[in-house]
Structure 1
Amino acid sequence: MEDEAAVVEEGISPAQSPLVAVSFQRNVHRNKKYLEAEPKALGITQIGLSLFQIICVGVFLSKGLSFVTTDIPLLISSILVIIAGSVAVAAQNLHLPTLRACLGMQVVASGASLLNMICILIKMDHTPSFCWNYYYHNATVHWGEICHQIESIHSHIHAEGIVIEAALLAISITLAAYSCKVINCCSPASKMPVITVQAPPVQH
């Protein structure tokens, strides 16, 4: 990679003498900074949490306890986050095109997580009350209590979904920030000062 090669820039040395020369070189190990973000752990977390969200949405849809209009975008966004997590894990090879793909997918995953949070909030506001039918059409108090418990579980799962999406958003931003540092899309490549001590000429 051309931008990862150590390039000595002449003429920018603050101090130069016959015995000491100061130059600045690009940090050839800056791509390893991506590994400081623990991309494997964060990528697997993205995949696992998104799969959990997909399973929950699928269960509610199959039981008729949710809305297709909000669940379809949620499913698509969760699949995008899974892809972003897979790319983050693959970017551990520090290959520059893979790191660029990781940055792009993490930006997409951030937007997807925000969209999922909005969808879950909409679902919470428009959750139908299933229990009124029990009270009006079924005089058994026992079934009414069970229904209220189901509604309570339903709302708790929605709240849990918001927390999960907030965690996924934080993970996406973290991975995007580290990817951005490595591929230098937001700032120029960092340079390290290199001091070269030259041996004095041997006098005869």
Structure 2
Amino acid sequence: MVPLAESRTVRPVPSPRQRLVRCLLAVLVLLAGMPAAPVRAEAARWQWPLPAPHEVLAPYEAPAHRYGPGHRGLDIAAAPGEPVRAVEAGTVRFSGTVAGRGVISVRHADGLLSTYEPVRGTVEAGDAVAVGDVLGVLEQAGEQGHCPGATCLHLGARRGEDYLDPSVLLGARGPSVLLPWGGGVRTPYSLAAAALTPADGPGPPSGGASLR
């Protein structure tokens, strides 16, 4: 009697597309098991204009619209006579008095404008300054200043006519303390648009008592 042939299971050969899918799945499994890379904080673009510790008496409060009420800067506690330094290299655009307060503004290479008040300036318009150079000394603003009952530096940041949050530009450079503050929080206004707005022309910095 002739023995029957052994039955064999024939496995189908995977197509090139199937092999590719399997390889991709294997790679995804390997990647899923790898630890995530640590996220690095973005480096600060500006240096604090005052020495640490940086006590923030009032944070930036974006207006609901360009001419609405808000707090267009950062109020940093300091003693009268404290030297105020440039947050970044640039050219002094204005050094004088606005609404009875000493104001200094510096134009930087990227078009941003940093403003400092109340400061009795030791620089003049047109002077080139390096980061950390002394611009003047902090004045006592009195009850009409940004910090009634206290002395503080009001640091502002502008691109064209749009105000930006200085704390974003300062990043995590040095220790800072956010003190209790009674104001509300508004929806940030036009930060993306502000980054694209052309820098304004020459002239004294805008902003009087109504634009705080």
TM bucket (normalised to shorter chain) is under 0.3
Structure of greater Rg: 2
Structure with higher RCO (Cα < 8 A, 6+ apart) = 1
TM-score after normalising by structure 2: 0.20
TM-score after normalising by structure 1: 0.21
Name the structure with the higher strand share. Answer: 2
